[in-house]
Amino acid sequence: MDRPDHDRIPEIALDWHRAGRGAVLATVVETWGSAPRPVGSQMVVAGDGAMMGSVSGGCVEGAVVEESLAALKDGQPRLLTFGVADDDAFAVGLACGGTIRILVEPVGPALPVGLLSDLVAARAARRPVAYVVDLDSWQRNLAPPNPDLSDRFRADRSGIEGRRFIAIHNPPLRMVVVGAVHIAQALLPMARACGHDPVLIDPREAFGSQSRFPGETIRHDWPDEAMAEIGLDSRTSVVTLTHDPKIDDPAIRSALDSEVFYLGCLGSTRTHAKRVERLRQAGFDEGQIARIHAPVGLNIGAKSPAEIAVSIMAQITQVLRGPR
């Protein structure tokens, strides 16, 4: 999935720096009250005052630009605090009544170009990584997922721990939907609205047509072949909807052999029992089979294709964000 510009702030900062324009990264590191942008939100400011992204929805961007230009001149990072009682931010503060702290880092003098390049490379390769800054010593490093950070990675939650600010950079979410059926017509736009990049797989071209799924990414390969090319990882969910073992089973086997965070399969309890038996015969153990959510979706009494799609999207969100 191509990230939109507002989610390419590190990439844009690196491009601007390499182009000789100068670049400063501004990141929300802490909030109190009704802050307009969450922790981890970023903007980048060039030496000519150009900017991309947002740290406050417009309340204090002007002040952040001023401080960023000053940081480019002196090469020093700084922590800024803005709130309704702050008379230093052009008497603007935050109209919503909150308070935010913003980390300002000029690329090169403060934020090493090599470190930023490594961060951009990890994001391009869909490798989850944490950018860690010691707010006392200004030492910086990149950290892979580990037990101490697992909750932050799972919840996409950046924040301050002690004297460190930890910015979580997860790959974009993806959803692989197998079966170009009516439920998929409702599910794909819901997935996109929830921040997932959907891919539809169905070897039956009459089903998976652009006329039925306008603007969607559609693969007409067999699911196992398409999934091998797409690549399945811990930021991917898989939903099978065809009821046809010839199509669903290869997808399910591929998903069970991967790190996908969710696998849901349409079908009745009886259908799933037959599916489980086929998987056992194929060599999958009970722990692997237990990863399957079937019948797919939360039990909310859904009847129509749209209601079933809602139940699926809700269950995926619950698995992704809920307690473990």
- With tokens 């980048």, the residue in question is 44
> Which pTM was predicted?
0.77
Report the pLDDT value the prediction gives residue 259, as an integer from 0 to 100. Answer: 92
H helix or E strand, kind and range, residue 66:
helix 61-74
Q: What is the DSSP letter of 20?
A: T
CB 43 within 8 A of CB 62: no
Which of the two residues, 77 and 321, has the higher pLDDT score? 77
Question: For residue 164, is pLDDT > 90?
Answer: yes
Q: Is the peptide bond before 295 cis (omega within 30 degrees of 0)?
A: yes
The whole-number average pLDDT for the span 103-130 is 96
Domain boundaries, the chain: 5-169, 173-321
Q: How confident is the model at residue 85 (pLDDT cuts 50, 70, 90)?
A: low
Report the pLDDT value the prediction gives residue 90, as an integer from 0 to 100. Answer: 43
Question: For residue 88, is pLDDT > 50?
Answer: no
Percent above pLDDT 70 for the chain: 91
**Interatomic CA distance for residues 83 and 292, integer angstroms:** 47
**Interatomic CA distance for residues 123 and 207, integer angstroms:** 34
- In sequence order, the β-bridge partners of residue 177 are 200, 239
Structure-block tokens of residue 161: 């721990």
HSE (side-chain half, CA atoms, 13 Å) at 284 = 23
Question: For residue 86, is pLDDT > 90?
Answer: no
CB 312 within 8 A of CB 300: no
Q: How confident is the model at residue 204 (pLDDT cuts 50, 70, 90)?
A: very high
Report the pLDDT value the prediction gives residue 95, as an integer from 0 to 100. Answer: 53
Which of 40-49, 91-100, 223-232 comes out lowest in average pLDDT? 91-100
Structure-block tokens of residue 163: 């004297």
Question: For residue 89, is pLDDT > 50?
Answer: no
- 173-321 homologous superfamily: NAD(P)-binding Rossmann-like Domain (3.40.50.720)
Candidates 184, 10, 26; CA nearest to 105 is 26
Q: How confident is the model at residue 225 (pLDDT cuts 50, 70, 90)?
A: very high
Report the pLDDT value the prediction gives residue 92, as an integer from 0 to 100. Answer: 46
CB 266 within 8 A of CB 296: yes
Question: For residue 57, is pLDDT > 90?
Answer: no
Q: How confident is the model at residue 10 (pLDDT cuts 50, 70, 90)?
A: very high
Q: What does the pLDDT look like over 251-274, one tens digit per residue?
A: 999 999 999 999 999 999 999 999
Which distant-in-sequence residues (6+ apart) come within 8 Å of 104 by Cβ?
Answer: 24, 25, 26, 64, 67, 68, 71, 77, 78, 79, 80
Q: How confident is the model at residue 35 (pLDDT cuts 50, 70, 90)?
A: low
